């Protein structure tokens, strides 16, 4: 797993992805609380956006070098949904 000392750029990117996921979840929850409902298509789009941030954070957790490698949004094959 990367860390802030050995891989500061990728660490910052990892934290960014998690922070962005948190912001989107908070925004979604606020929208749902205010409106008392949500369109299923809108919910699907917003949840997919959150998943993309979480998946990028998981899939890049071991990128030790600071290169601009492509960040995958596919659901990790080494993490079982619970």
pLDDT tens-place string over residues 14-71: 999 999 999 999 999 999 999 999 999 999 999 999 999 999 899 888 887 655 455 5
Per-residue pLDDT at 68? 45
| Res 70: pLDDT | 53
The candidate with the shortest Cα–Cα distance to 57, out of 8, 13, 26, is 13
- pLDDT at position 50: 94
Give the span between the Cα atoms of 57 and 78, in whole angstroms.
13
Instruction: Report pLDDT for 66.
Output: 54
Domain-wise residue ranges, the chain: 6-82
Which among 82, 26, 79, 14 is positioned nearest to 53, based on CA atoms?
14
Lowest mean pLDDT among 5-14, 46-55, 71-80: 71-80
């Amino acid at each position: 797993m990367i860390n802030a000392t050995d891989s500061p750029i990728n660490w910052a990117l990892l934290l960014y992805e998690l922070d962005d996921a948190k912001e989107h979840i908070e925004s979604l929850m606020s929208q749902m609380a205010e409106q008392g409902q949500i369109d299923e298509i809108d919910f699907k789009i917003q949840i997919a956006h959150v998943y993309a941030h979480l998946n990028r954070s998981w899939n890049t957790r071991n990128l030790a070098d600071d290169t601009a490698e492509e960040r995958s949004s596919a659901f990790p094959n080494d993490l079982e949904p619970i």
